Amino acid sequence: MDEIIKWFVEYYSLEDYRELPGEIVGALNELNRVERGELKMKLFNEAKLIAGNGDDAVKPIRWLENSFELIEKNTFRLHEVLISPGKQIPDTLHVLLDNAKHSIDICVFTISDQSLSKRLLDAYRRGVAVRIISDDQKVNDRGSQVYNLKNAGVKVKVDHSRYHMHHKFGVVDNRISFTGSYNWTYTATKHNQENLIITTNYDIVRQFGEEFEKLWNEMFWL
């Protein structure tokens, strides 16, 4: 956030409405709703300091309006409903997993799709914190990729119950969440009528993150 504030304060002319450089756009896209609110408050305080220095009072107001507009324009938002059969769901999941920078938390009933499993493993190998929760019975299915991921070093937990851990959701970088009927299987992609909802809505992402942490604390190491 300090990098963003520095750019707006030191390099953004009060008269010049320009595009943000790529590195600032990238930094903005890392912020969640609460952090964006904090950024705007800090810029508001900077505007008060500028006004207090005796400049034309209109200029800091114009600067602040332009700054807020640029922040909103360059804020990453995603809300989408995806449907299978077809490649729409796995292709979108591939992009989300390939672009994860910090963390991937997956809570999925069954994982047998090798292309999705490979994306998880690739993310883990490039330093992303990957955690998986799955059903204790489905990990033993023919074609399940869960043991392969676990043996490669990915953290995996399962339930110990005669009932199922039947969730199908995930959280990427604590800023994108997805959920729906879609299991990570070839059948779900090629044949089943399935759905997946993806969102960056802060409250929804937070609630799924809290549920994952709750389950992670309750579940057992594979």
CA distance 177 to 168: 11
Two tokens, residue 91 = 């292709």
DSSP secondary structure, 27-93, as one string: HHHT--HHHHHHHHHHHHHHHHHHHHTT--THHHHHHHHHHHHHHHHT----EEEEEESSSHHHHHH
Question: For residue 127, which of 103, 162, 159, 95 has the smallest C-alpha distance?
Answer: 103
Question: For residue 157, which of 98, 96, 213, 101 has the smallest C-alpha distance?
Answer: 213
CA distance 180 to 132: 17
DSSP 19: P
Q: Which residues are catalytically annotated? A: 166, 168, 173
Identity of the amino acid at 160: H
